[in-house]
Structure 1
Amino acid sequence: MSDFAKSLAVTASGLRAQAARLSHVSENISNADTPGYRRKTVSFQSVRDLSTDVSEVRVGRVSLDNSNLEEIYDPSHPLADESGHYEGSNVDLMIEIADAREAQRTYEANLKMFDQTRQMSASLMDLLRR
């Protein structure tokens, strides 16, 4: 496997990992008002492919945030208990927006590296044709 192909494999794995992260962040945002919903967090791990000698980023376990759910007082809500409270979600929109922004910027950085590698490869092919 050439160095260009290795570089493309590494950046492509980063793109896939950040896309998965953005998917979970958007799921958290869309369920911010869902009673009982727990925020999902994504972990990443480095995996070395011995056949190509390339370390790639992979999405690890998706876990639930075990922080306390928000107690909401609304006696008219169908899920409210006898005291008028029910459990909301533990999604903090500010944290989710910050995570989304970080994932977007990391995705863009990986995309830039992918494009740079592609351009270098094309330039090398042009030089070899001469």
Structure 2
Amino acid sequence: MLFKGLEVSVSGMQAERVRIDLAASNLANVNSTRAEDGQPYRRKVPVFEAVLDSYSNNIPIYKVRVKEIQTDPSPFKLKFDPNNPDAGPDGYVRLPNVDPMREMVDMMSAIRSYEANLTAFNTHKDMILKSLEIIRV
């Protein structure tokens, strides 16, 4: 039970790492007008869930995990560019449904959450080490 706090923080860091990776992938594909399926790139978002890990003194301990990665169903942006090879018969090119500003905000939020989990991890680790010091004396 001593290390459950560390495990909870690690699960949070793993979830935020996925969120950071997806935001980076979304940003990298902001101008990708054709993916493997021939459609423009669709924004990807993680779906998190709390998973009951165990109980400590009748208090539930939850970890977080990525349940799935969904594609954003919002419509593609349209840009008039009749010379683009991906333009339709009307001259419009469908662009990814990625908003760079939104992705930057999501990435910054994920980085801050990762840092908060790292701080909690280090604080818990320090408390364990101090406890071991007290026991040793």
Fold conserved between structures, TM > 0.5? yes
Distance 2:88 2:110 in 1: 38
Is 2:6 the counterpart of 1:8?
yes
1:33 is aligned to 31
2:19 is aligned to 21
Is 2:113 the counterpart of 1:109?
no
2:51 is aligned to 47
Moved over 6 A (4+): none
Is there any run of 5+ residues in structure 2 with no aligned partner, and where? Answer: 34-39
Distance 2:53 2:108 in 1: 30
Structure with higher helix content: 1
Distance 1:127 1:95 in 2: 48
The total of aligned residue pairs comes to 128
Listed one character per residue, the Cα deviations across residues 1-54 of structure 1 (whole Å, up to 9, x for unaligned) are: 32xx01001101000000011011100000000111111111110011248863
Q: TM-score, normalization: structure 2?
A: 0.88
RMSD after superposition:
1.4
- What percentage of residue pairs aligned between the two structures are identical? 34
Q: TM-score, normalization: structure 1?
A: 0.93
**2:117 alignment partner, SS class:** helix
Write the letter of the residue equivalent to 1:17. A
Structure with higher strand content: 2
